[in-house]
Structure 1
Amino acid sequence: MLFDMLATQRQERILAEVLAHGAVRVADLVEALDVSDMTVRRDIAELARAGLVRRVHGGAVAPESPSRATEEPGFEAKRTWSSAEKTAVARAALADVEPGQSIVLSAGTTTWLLAQLIVADPALRPLTVVTNGLHVADALHGQRDLEVVLTGGTRTPSDALVGPVADATLGALRVDRAFLGVHGLDVDGATAPNLAEAATDRALVRCAAATTVLTDHTKWGTVGLARICGLDEIDTIVVDTGISRDARTHLEAAVDRLVLADPADGTTPAGVRTTPTGANP
């Protein structure tokens, strides 16, 4: 009876973590619950059988979480996931935008939020923005001293423009900084859910003098079908404070600058913490 009670308590704790953060890693649960790897995996399997979580490599996610390697939900669906975290990340990333720059914003919900913040701050203009995101372009449209270049290309379910046309446009451009939203991020770098989107994102990174990746903590450990770039090709990563301690330690060692954005911070940048990692000398 005691074992059953403890198992129930553990599973409730695991479910609470998944509901709060969208995903959880086995390694983090082993440390937090002070139990074996096998015990955690058994608890996750029980929750998965009940339909409360979905098992993935290395952990568990909410049933609706976009973590499958090739799954590409629509924009409206993704917009509702981790919205507070994405807003905090976009707000922190705004510090890397300066008037007179040319920048490129990838398609995505977090870059869309960044575009809205750019529109709301006239002090950032003049500004040239290249994008392969239809929603990003719509957010920026019609603003004075804000030039928007849309790449063209083939439209994906998430309203990104990808393929040879988009790649050729990006290949002909040189910008100051790329702001890249990603499907997944792990120790090997950033990934996308399909080959065409990954190729266009690679072109986006190559056309920029510096790259800032925008991600919420639920993307860590997610591995998409196709690789975009390694961590050594990323200058700055902006992520919310929900990122695990192990992930933070790894990212601090791998990139030049790690920026932690606090979703509880409200509307000011006071909750943003920057770690100059000293990586990639």
Structure 2
Amino acid sequence: MLAAQRRSRILAELNRDGTVRVTDLVDLLGVSDMTVRRDLVALHREGLLEKVHGGALAVAEPSSSEPGFAAKSVQRRLEKEAIAARAAQLVHEGMAIAVSAGTTTHALTEHLARIPHLTVVTNSVWVADVLHRAGDSTTSVLLTGGLRTPSDALVGPVAVSSLRSLHVDAFFMGVHGMDVRAGFSTPNLLESETNRAMIERSRRLIVCADSSKWGVVGLSSIAALSDASVLVTDSRLSAQAGGILADHVGELILVDVDDDMDDLASESSRDA
């Protein structure tokens, strides 16, 4: 296994559990103790983890940190696509749905574009663009107005006002973080308010979030874990986190991600 592949796997384990131990990584990667320690030192120097005695910790982001759409779109692409494909199976012809801004919901929209007779309410310029370019001719799209955030969500009083008279079957929501105490959260106060307005107008809340979002807490809570009728995430979620989420959300759906495909994607990104 190449050094870049080892380090990618280390970061995947770290994102899943928030912590890694040298002894566990030696068994997982099939390399020596010294090789693992050198990898951890290299990743620490790049600012990708915090090295501690016997292992490493994930680097905590500030609760108000809000990466842009382009930055988030290259992260966890395989997980997001798998989640999107599974979440799309919850949508049927003729439904009226709301879709939040975000890279996972953007991936979902590629699948929604093939379902006829949908009515889609969204505060995402990216979601609206996909449906405009590739959506079925029978699909109706309502794009809220509002202020544009770094993640390309339209938020604020104008967005909230446009939602007040609407009623949809389900709201598909992407999140910045999910935590047992903070629930589902975002670093943007206005986006949190807008998403809450969408939840109020929806019969069901369906959250689409990859496993790296577990343990992340944004500045503003959107909803409690128990408010989610369904949470679609990937099977790289730790067993402990899965147990907590299963106890709180209405239904927990775990989708598998092919590790071999992940390695190929990492190699392709290095070659590009």
TM-score class, shorter = 0.7 to 0.9
Structure 1 residues 173-211: Cα deviation after superposition (integer angstroms, max 9, x where no partner): 110000000000111210001211111111111110001
Of 68-77 and 248-257, deviating more is: 68-77
TM-score (normalised: structure 1): 0.76
Matching residue of 1:60:
58
TM-score by length of 2: 0.79
- Structure 1 residue runs of 4 or more that deviate by more than 4 Å after TM superposition: 12-18, 26-33, 43-49
Count of matched residue positions in the alignment of Structure 1 and Structure 2: 239
SS of corresponding position for 2:258:
helix
- Write the mapping of 1:197-236 to structure 2, written as runs, cut at 5 A: 197-236=191-230
Decide whether aligned partners of structure 1 residues 30 and 193 sit closer, same or farther in structure 2, where only a CA change above 3 A counts.
farther
Flag the 1:84–1:45 CA change in 2: closer, same or farther, 3 A. closer
Quick one: structure 1 residues 219 and 208, their matched pair in 2 at CA, closer, same or farther if it must change by over 3 Å?
same
Alpha-carbon deviations, 1:97-125, whole Å to 9, x = none? 01111000000111111111111x2xx31
Cα distance in structure 2, aligned partners of 1:234 and 1:84? 23
* Deviation by residue 1:7-44 (Cα, 9 ceiling, x = unmatched): xxxxx9995544335625356759957xxxxxxxxx89
Q: For 1:1-281, what aligned pairs fall within 5 Å after superposition?
A: 17-20=9-12, 23-26=15-18, 29=21, 32=24, 50-55=45-50, 59-61=57-59, 67-119=61-113, 121=114, 124-141=115-132, 143-188=136-181, 189-264=183-258
Tell me, yes or no, if the aligned pair for 1:75 and 1:159 is still in contact at 8 Å. yes
Q: Which structure 2 residue ranges, 5 or more long, are not aligned?
A: 26-36, 261-272
CA RMSD of aligned residues (A): 3.0
Distance in 2 (CA, whole Å) between partners of 1:111 and 1:236 is 14
- After superposition, the Cα gap between the structure-2 partners of 1:150 and 1:16, relative to the gap in structure 1 and judged at 3 Å, is closer
Over the matched positions of the two proteins, sequence identity in percent amounts to 39
What runs of 5+ residues in structure 1 fail to find an aligned partner?
Answer: 1-11, 34-42, 267-281
Residue 241 of structure 1 and its aligned partner are, at CA, apart by 0.9
Task: Give distance in 2, aligned partners of 1:228 and 1:18.
Answer: 31
